[in-house]
Amino acid sequence: MVKEGKFVAIHYVGKLDSGEVFDTCDGEQPFEFQVGSGMVIRGLDMAVMDMSVNDEKDIRIEPVDAYGDYDINMLQPVPIGEIKPHFEPQQGMMIEVQMDNGMRIPALINKVTDSEVIIDMNHPLAGQPLNFHIKVLDVNDDAKYPSNCSCCDDGQTEGCSC
């Protein structure tokens, strides 16, 4: 049975309310995480608690337990002169931004004017409820499955978005 501190391996399909699949590992290598460690969004962590191997369920995770509400304060203006030497910014372009702590996060170019670029640093799924179908495949005391995530493999789960 899944308890805090255990490693759980799952297959899942994540969908938006529109029915669009935003992520899945169904039929692929299982996704494994340590319950309660902060490796995944809070809603998924809570959803697997007390499940057993071969249990399946459908869950809905509200933004507060996923990627949070959309925050207008996460729109950051940057002078266009700081960006143009590196690349030609275009509205809708996804870029990587390095934070003060060295962590890199994806960001969306929201708007481009003659003088500035507005960068949206909200998570792409911020403000959206998430719907998951999950199936527990395995529960262990230690990690069993290889991770495809370099930050998790390095033991750096803080800020991991996988």
Residue 130 sits in the same domain as residue 105: no
- How many domains are contained in the chain? 2
CA 43/CA 117 separation, integer angstroms: 34
CATH number reported for the structural domain that contains residue 107 in this entry = 2.40.10.330
pLDDT digits (tens, 9 = 90+) for 7-63: 999 999 999 999 999 999 988 899 999 999 999 999 999 999 999 999 999 999 999
List the domain range (segments joined by +) for residue 109: 72-120
Query: Is residue 129 situated within a structural domain?
Result: yes
More confident residue, 152 or 124: 124
The answer as to whether 77 is a domain residue is: yes
* pLDDT given for residue 152 in this prediction: 47
pTM: 0.79
Residue 37 lies in a domain: yes
Name the residue type at position 94.
M
Could you tell me how far CA 1 lies from the centroid of its own chain? Answer: 25
CATH number of the domain encompassing residue 60: 3.10.50.40
For residue 132, being part of any structural domain is answered with yes
**105 with 162: CB under 8 angstroms?**
no
- 82: three-class secondary structure by DSSP: helix
